[in-house]
Structure 1
Amino acid sequence: MFKSLNFKVILFGFIFTFFSSFGQSFFLGLFNSSIRDALSITHGQFGSIYASATLLSSFILVWVGKKIDDFNILKFASYVIALLAISCFLFSKISSVAFLFLSIFLMRLSGQGLMSHTATTTISRFFEKTRGRALSTTWLGLSLAEFILPLLIIFLLTFIDWRNIWIAISISVIIILPIVIVTLVKNVKLDSRETSIATNIKTKDIKQWTRGEVLKDYRFYIICLSMLAMPWIATGTFVYQSFIVSSKGWGPYVIAQSFMVYSILSVITLFLTGFLIDKFSSRKLIIYMNIPLLVATFVLYYFNSPISSFVFLGLIGISNGLANVLGSATWAEIYGVRYIGSIKALTTALMVFSTAFGTALFGILIDNSLSIEQIALVSGSYILIAILLLFLVKNKLNPDYL
């Protein structure tokens, strides 16, 4: 399907999304209890620190992420790798609330923010005809991490101090990733494009929107409402998985095991979504993105059996698979790829901001004695409103042609 350079760029994206997992909420949430015990803080306090640090990282990401339009990928990725390695090491040294804030800020900026931003921006710009399949393959890296890391970390925490785990992660980042970028994307420039005989997408005929122009387009905000549902709801779920487990009376391994179903369905959906985007376009698929997530909130609200955990996270996995690919392809289809780094820096920052919002909201609701069922009802209401608004503009999502 892909020629040599095409394959290298996809492998680069795959590895970078895998390593972005160290800054993702599902991974950091695994250390929630250990950190709270070490610092003697509550769920709500942890949530507030997590949310405020994430919020700050989203503001910084708007500016830093924009620079990917100005540097070649090798140089930009080198900076991101260095920041991620430093962030992981600092995370192992958390000894106070202030240090916790700094560590989470750096992990969210470098891991969830810049690692995924670097991968998806490179893929979105480099690929045209096969963008959907390329993005879906790239996001398999994160799905693989979500599949193997929760159970692995829970197992390691039974006999290894959590600080030593983070030191090992830092070492792996600084050893593996420099080799990856030199081997795979050394020759990729800003104007490099996929090798193909022909392409059905004539990007020169599509208006190339600047970030300022995008901010004046009402469609951008309606699409964002839907795209931000998955990040804040899933983040709240992942960060407070221990609260959900205790509320529902599930065993300690139920959520971790359910992540395997989440990952499997994410992978299946990623593959299907990639092919569907290349065939029908992401603009026609985005309306369906959050329907599984809406059903997931109903499952969490209504059912208490441990089996419902697998159904709940499985449905989130389906929406996650859709959202990961659609979240990058949609912007490139509507607004072009010339300024895609700048645009995606903004949308990635908004995504990170929404995770901060979800963490803070879940923490506040929990501290105010709301049940997980009531929280599910709040989440479902937001999703339904976002779907209805997107439905109203679904026929107005075409690009402007020159």
Structure 2
Amino acid sequence: MKDYFIFFKNNSPEIRFGWTLTFLSSFGQTFLISLYVPTLLEQFHISEGFFGGIYAISTVIASILLISIGHTVDHKPIRKVSFYTILALAASTVLLGLSRYHIAILFVALIGLRLNGQALLSHISQTILSKRFQVDRGKALSIASSGFPMGEAVFPVILTSLLIWKGILVTTLSSAAFLLLYLGRLLIFEVKSFDEDLDPSRNTSGKLIVGEFQELLKEKKFWIIAPASMSLSFVTTAYFFYQYVFAEDLNWSVTLYASFFTVYAVCRFVMAFVGGLLVDRYSARKVFRFYLLPITIGMIPLIFTQHIFAALFFLAMAGISQGTAGTVKTAVVAETFGTAKLGAIRSFFNMFMIFSTALGPLVIGMMMDQDFPFYSLILSLALLLFLALLNSQRLSAKKFPKIA
């Protein structure tokens, strides 16, 4: 840990900036949006399946928009890109509170939350840190990634209390006000070091973006890296989206189950730092080949028993994989494809990842509607992870030389 303290001390402004962006991305993440779901279902008199469909469509649209916006981090000043992204996230949060006037407002709000929160803020953070730190990339990404579990630990408690006390409108307006206050803080952050490698002359026409996307799809290494990222997002989003439905159906104590999230958050937080050390010591490629193993193992007890402590084991193992993923997913793309066009390339990867977060709840929800038993749902998710884990073993340093 001494290395982390020295590294943070020497690079504090850049690391704090990256961490803050991942922390604020919580406002567009599934775990936070799910807090509003009961209110929204009652507000519009719609079913869980109908809302899941709206959520899936809005997330897919956000993923498509990402590839037309994500490249801006390669050639636009970081302060400007971050400012407008946070401003748009705050506006989307306000729209969520005003959605009671029409369901179309809800749809637009969800697109904005998913695009600017879950997609862009985390994308900006991970991309600029990967470019800025070549040698200590693992440490930089791991510290920044700790913003995700911190958001999971802090925001649900605060927003749930606000929802119970004052309702959805006050809660969303308070969230937007918090984001707007940060914009003032952004003006005094030292972020010029992130702009040293910008390429303002880069052509960003739609034709070029489509061409780069087509070239990426022809790369064998893309079809090795992308499935691992997509499968993890698919599985975790699907499970967490319906976790309290599972808890009720299996007669688990909701209070006890909710307390287990502390274990998940701690494991994810710790592994964010451990993952960074592993990446710097062994390379992202080597760590990438095994980061899906813990969550895959974690699902095995849930297949054979419905005891609540099987869920505790799964959450702990999921936290290990998720914490490691926060560092290794970006680092392996930077190692394999280089950093010159990292913003554009990561936006393509993130498009597929975000698409999988839309597909997960939709597919599992349809299976639940067809009365698939719990163990078969978990078995399906475990098999998906296992296949992705096998596929990731194809990432060989000999076949794909490391690119700085």
Q: What TM-score does the superposition give when structure 2 sets the normalisation length?
A: 0.90
- Shifted more, 12-21 versus 255-264: the winner is 255-264
SS in 2 for 1:337: coil
Structure-2 separation of matches of 1:331 and 1:181: 30
Q: Which residue of 2 aligns with 1:215?
A: 217
Deviations 1:12-34 (A, max 9, x none): 11111011011111111222222
How many residues matched?
385
Structure-2 separation of matches of 1:141 and 1:3: 15
- Aligned residue among 27, 31, 36 for 1:31: 36
Q: Supply the RMSD in Å over aligned alpha carbons.
A: 2.0
Q: Which residue of 2 aligns with 1:47?
A: 52
Contact map agreement 1:274 1:325 (CA 8 A) in 2: yes
SS in 1 for 2:99: coil
Q: Which residue of 2 aligns with 1:65?
A: 70
Deviations 1:306-351 (A, max 9, x none): 3333222111111101111111100111111110010011111111
- 2:87 matched to 1:82? yes
- Aligned residue among 142, 145, 156 for 1:139: 145
Q: CA deviation at 1:304?
A: 2.4
SS in 2 for 1:288: coil
Q: CA deviation at 1:277?
A: 0.5
SS in 1 for 2:296: helix
Q: Which residue of 2 aligns with 1:357?
A: 359
- Aligned residue among 162, 171, 175 for 1:165: 171
Q: CA deviation at 1:5?
A: 6.9
Contact map agreement 1:69 1:339 (CA 8 A) in 2: yes
Segments of structure 1 that go 5 or more residues without pairing to the other structure are: 193-209
Structure-2 separation of matches of 1:278 and 1:398: 18
Q: Which residue of 2 aligns with 1:257?
A: 259
Structure-1 separation of matches of 2:259 and 2:190: 34
Q: Which residue of 2 aligns with 1:295?
A: 297
Q: Which residue of 2 aligns with 1:10?
A: 15
SS in 1 for 2:221: helix
> Do the aligned partners of residues 257 and 280 (structure 1) sit closer, same or farther apart at CA in structure 2, a change above 3 Å counting?
same
Q: Which residue of 1 aligns with 2:134?
A: 128
- Shifted more, 244-253 versus 8-17: the winner is 244-253
- Aligned residue among 315, 318, 321 for 2:320: 318
Deviations 1:53-89 (A, max 9, x none): 1001000001111111120111111111111110111
Given residue 228 of structure 1, which amino acid in structure 2 is its aligned partner?
M
Contact map agreement 1:26 1:238 (CA 8 A) in 2: yes
> Do the aligned partners of residues 318 and 172 (structure 1) sit closer, same or farther apart at CA in structure 2, a change above 3 Å counting?
same
Structure-2 separation of matches of 1:165 and 1:329: 36
Q: CA deviation at 1:213?
A: 4.2
Deviations 1:346-369 (A, max 9, x none): 111111111011121122112222
Q: CA deviation at 1:284?
A: 0.6
Structure-2 separation of matches of 1:225 and 1:92: 35
How do 1:164-243 and structure 2 match up within 5 A?
164-180=170-186, 182-186=188-192, 188-191=194-197, 213-243=215-245
> Do the aligned partners of residues 397 and 245 (structure 1) sit closer, same or farther apart at CA in structure 2, a change above 3 Å counting?
farther
- Aligned residue among 116, 121, 138 for 1:115: 121
Contact map agreement 2:162 2:170 (CA 8 A) in 1: no
Structure-2 separation of matches of 1:25 and 1:57: 14
Deviations 1:180-206 (A, max 9, x none): 3532314531428xxxxxxxxxxxxxx
SS in 2 for 1:182: coil
Contact map agreement 2:17 2:189 (CA 8 A) in 1: no
Deviations 1:186-233 (A, max 9, x none): 4531428xxxxxxxxxxxxxxxxx665433211111211111111111
Given residue 91 of structure 2, which amino acid in structure 1 is its aligned partner?
I
Q: Which residue of 2 aligns with 1:19?
A: 24
| Larger RCO, structures 1/2 (Cα 8 Å, 6+ apart) | 1
Q: Which residue of 1 aligns with 2:207?
A: none
Segments of structure 2 that go 5 or more residues without pairing to the other structure are: 1-5, 199-211
- 2:275 matched to 1:270? no
SS in 2 for 1:184: coil
- Aligned residue among 386, 389, 397 for 1:384: 386
Q: Which residue of 2 aligns with 1:373?
A: 375
Q: Which residue of 2 aligns with 1:203?
A: none
> Do the aligned partners of residues 268 and 41 (structure 1) sit closer, same or farther apart at CA in structure 2, a change above 3 Å counting?
same
SS in 2 for 1:157: helix
